[in-house]
Amino acid sequence: MDKKIISGIIAAVLFSAAGVANAHQAGDIIVRAGAVVVAPNESSDHVVTPDLGDLGEFSVDNNTQLGLNFGYMLTDNIGIELLAATPFSHDVSLAGIGKVAETKHLPPTLVAQYYFGNAKSKLRPYVGIGVNYTNFFDSKITNDVGGKLSNLSMENSWGLAGQVGLDYQLTDKLLLNASVWYAKIDSDVSFNYAYGENNQDVAAVTIGTDIDPWVYMVSVGYVF
Residue 31's beta-bridge partner residues? 70, 222
77-104 b/e (C-beta count within 10 Å ≥ 16 → b) = bebebebebeebebbbbbebeeebbbbb
Split at pLDDT 50, 70, 90, the class of 3 is low
The Cα–Cα gap between 76 and 68 comes to 22
How deeply is 205 buried, as exposed, middle or buried, from its count of CB atoms within 10 A (0-12, 13-18, 19+)?
middle
- Where along the chain do its domains lie? 24-223
- Compute φ and ψ for 199, nearest 5 degrees: 55, 40
CATH T-level assignment (fold) for domain 24-223: Porin (2.40.160)
Residue 70 host element (H or E): strand 63-73
2 pLDDT more than 70: no
pLDDT band (50, 70, 90) for residue 96: confident
Examine the pLDDT at 46 and tell me if it is beyond 50.
Answer: yes
Distances (CA, A) of 76 to 35, 146, 163, 179: 27, 60, 19, 19
pLDDT digits (tens, 9 = 90+) for 104-160: 999 999 999 999 999 999 999 999 999 999 999 999 999 999 999 999 999 999 999
Sheet arrangement for strand 149-154: 43-44, 201-210, 186-195, 149-154
179 close to 167: Cβ distance less than 8 angstroms:
no
User: Do 139 and 105 touch, CB atoms closer than 8 A?
Assistant: no
Helix (H, G, I), strand (E, B) or coil at 52: coil
CB 94 within 8 A of CB 58: yes
What distances in angstroms separate CA 212 from CA 44, 75, 131, 180, one per listed residue?
Answer: 11, 31, 13, 13
DSSP 8-state assignment for residue 87? P
Q: How far apart are CA 217 and CA 123, in angstroms?
A: 17
- Look at residue 192 and tell me whether its pLDDT is greater than 90: yes
Kindly tell me if the per-residue pLDDT of 6 is higher than 90: no
**Mean pLDDT across the chain:** 91
Residue 20 has pLDDT above 90, yes or no: no
Give mean pLDDT, residues 174-188. Answer: 97
Indicate whether 221 pLDDT > 80: yes
Give the mean model confidence (pLDDT) for residues 157-169: 98
* 68 closest CA partner among 87, 49, 42: 87
List beta partners, residue 5: none
Q: Residue 4's pLDDT is what?
A: 55
Longest dimension (CA), the chain: 102
Q: What predicted TM-score, i.e. pTM, was given to this entire model? A: 0.86
